[in-house]
Chain A
Amino acid sequence: MSAGTRADRPVTSQGHYAGSASRFLAYAVDSTVSSGVFALALAGISYVVSVVTGSHVSWNKGNIAVAIVFAGWEFIYFAYSWAASGKTFGMAILGVRVVRADGTAVGPRHAVLRTLAFPLSFLLLGLGFAGILVQREHRALHDLIAGTAVVYAWDARAARLRFLAREAEPAAGSGRSQQENG
């Protein structure tokens, strides 16, 4: 083992403001998952209804009731996830999470406010998301309204150590087996 100064190397991205690609991909995963779960739930309901009543139920995408239920489901999906852990399923995969502007954990109030403000970023022709690119803290319109920010929650340094450990393990294992055979 060699001793050397490693202070010049960035230790981790954990806690840094998350960039646009991570956030976009996290949203894409969430959108796919939440829509998929909703579609599965509708299919399940249709199946149960057809078994019980014998009549076939078809869900019209333009149906206002379905749209309201879908909006309610999306609200629960995002608001509950952010209030409970600061991250949705997609955010957990991409390793980002929502925090308050000062970095402390987000609470139910901020989570609900962020979820309600989230559609505004879409409604302004998507300009609400421009903040992720140009704002110094990568905060979108709904972040500014809710007083939140999105940061990296995964430890890049730990990931590198795991990578090195996996690289080193086969060599160490073969060395041990040679010693045992010898």
Chain B
Amino acid sequence: MTDPFEALAQRVAERVLDLVVSALDMNALLDRVDVNALVGRVDVNGLLNRVDVPALLDRADVNALLDRVDVDSLLDRVDVNDLVRRVDVDALVEHTDVGAIIARSSGGAASEALDAARSQVVGLDQFIDRWVQRGLRRKHPAPAGPPALVKGSPIQ
């Protein structure tokens, strides 16, 4: 007795569902969904804990993935100069084998003495120049060097 009614009810329900779904504007519906709130309710860490990353990586063809990366355009977007400026080269030299390589590649005591002597003389140059500029009451700083050698020097 119930089978014909059930079948009918099911057909009616499916038909109604089709009509409702076809009448729905899914984009408008999605626009009304607060995705941030939705994501906020998701325990991402818990989700990630359940992911078997090694198995995932085993299934991924990393080489194929890298082949699809446009490295040139990626590097174009990186400010390498800024990156290098942020590196503490002094610390790099002091705490890594780079320092040892530099020390071995550069000269010995003579080179060290020459560096020290030149540094002293440059200091004396700057000391004299500072007092001369002060004595001449110059307001504008002099150019640091010839334009071809020092960036920012005015071209004459």
Which residues on A are within 8 Å of B, measured CB to CB?
1-7, 13-22, 25, 93-95, 99-104, 133-134, 136-138, 149, 151-152, 154, 156, 159-169, 172-173
Enumerate 20 A-B pairs (CB-CB under 8 Å) in ascending A order: A6-B89, A16-B145, A17-B144, A19-B128, A21-B125, A93-B114, A101-B146, A103-B147, A103-B150, A137-B146, A149-B146, A156-B119, A162-B103, A163-B115, A164-B90, A165-B93, A165-B102, A168-B94, A169-B103, A169-B104
In the complex where A21-B124, A93-B114 touch, is A1 in contact with B103 (Cβ < 8 A)? no
Partner of B128, one of A21, A137, A159: A21
CB distance from A1 to the nearest CB of B (A): 5
Give the size category of B's interface with A: 35 or more
Name A's interface SS: mixed
Q: Residues of B contacting A7 with CB < 8 Å?
A: 85
Q: Residues of A contacting B146 with CB < 8 Å?
A: 15, 17, 99-103, 137, 149, 151
CB distance from B5 to the nearest CB of A (A): 74
Q: Residues of B contacting A151 with CB < 8 Å?
A: 145-146, 149
Instruction: Tell me the number of A-to-B contacts counted with CB atoms below 8 Å.
Output: 143
CB distance from A131 to the nearest CB of B (A): 11
Closest B residue to A172 by CB, please name it: B100
> Which 7 A-B pairs have CB atoms at the shortest separation, nearest pair first?
A19-B125, A103-B146, A103-B148, A15-B149, A165-B102, A103-B149, A165-B99
Q: Cβ of B10 < 8 Å from any Cβ of A? A: no
Closest A residue to B138 by CB, please name it: A136
Q: Cβ of B65 < 8 Å from any Cβ of A? A: no
Partner of B91, one of A2, A17, A101: A2
CB distance from A13 to the nearest CB of B (A): 6
In the complex where A94-B118, A101-B146 touch, is A19 in contact with B85 (Cβ < 8 A)? no
Which residues on B are within 8 Å of A, measured CB to CB?
85-104, 106, 111-112, 114-115, 118-119, 121-122, 124-126, 128-129, 132, 136, 138, 142-150, 155-156
Q: Residues of A contacting B103 with CB < 8 Å?
A: 162, 165-166, 168-169
In the complex where A6-B89, A102-B156 touch, is A136 in contact with B142 (Cβ < 8 A)? yes
In the complex where A21-B128, A99-B146, A134-B132 touch, is A94 in contact with B88 (Cβ < 8 A)? no
Judging by beta carbons under 8 Å apart, are A154 and B118 in contact? Answer: yes
Closest B residue to A173 by CB, please name it: B100
CA distance A161 to B66 in the complex (A): 37
Q: Residues of A contacting B122 with CB < 8 Å?
A: 13, 19, 22, 152, 156
CA distance A20 to B122 in the complex (A): 9
Q: Residues of B contacting A13 with CB < 8 Å?
A: 122
**Supplied contacts A17-B142, A19-B129, A168-B103, 6 more A-B pairs, CB within 8 Å:** A2-B88, A6-B85, A15-B144, A102-B148, A136-B142, A162-B115
CB distance from B144 to the nearest CB of A (A): 5
CA distance A19 to B115 in the complex (A): 17
Q: Residues of A contacting B99 with CB < 8 Å?
A: 164-165, 168-169, 172
